[in-house]
Amino acid sequence: MDALERLRKCVVYYDNDDCQGGNIVREVTQGYGRLRKAVDALAAMARRSHYDCDDNWYACPLSNSGCSDPMYAKDECNCGAAEHNRQVDAILAMAQPEPR
């Protein structure tokens, strides 16, 4: 029986040793902590930096060197990194626990 099934039984019956001693709550909390670290690590790996290159004519305006091409606004991403990172943030937000 896994930790979540044991937790469900604690909620329903609250009369076994796991519930009384807090073992199951501790186990589920530790599991969540490991999962949270994994999700954060994956999100960090998924984030993209803005495109930068030696010839800043072709670089993203939001990169460290900026973009020399006057066709692009200086404060808007043209490489897709901003939209990609917004999607990563949205996925990460789905993994956050609901406020009580």
CA-to-CA dists, residue 17 to 23, 27, 56, 100, angstroms? 8, 14, 65, 27
Mean pLDDT of 4-23: 59
| 55 and 92 co-located in one domain | yes
Query: Which one is predicted more confidently, 62 or 31?
Result: 62
Task: Say yes or no: 25 and 35 in one domain.
Answer: yes
For residue 6, what pLDDT band results from cuts at 50, 70 and 90?
A: low
What's the total number of domains in the chain? 2
Q: Are residues 33 and 54 in the same domain?
A: no
The model carries a pTM of: 0.63
Q: Which two three-digit tokens encode residue 47?
A: 């984030």
Task: Determine the structural domain holding residue 81 and report its residue range.
Answer: 48-100
DSSP, collapsed to helix, strand or coil, labels residue 69 as coil
Residues 42 and 1 in one domain: yes
Task: Give yes or no for residue 45 having a pLDDT over 70.
Answer: yes
Same domain, 38 and 57: no
Q: For residues 33 and 60, state if they share a domain.
A: no
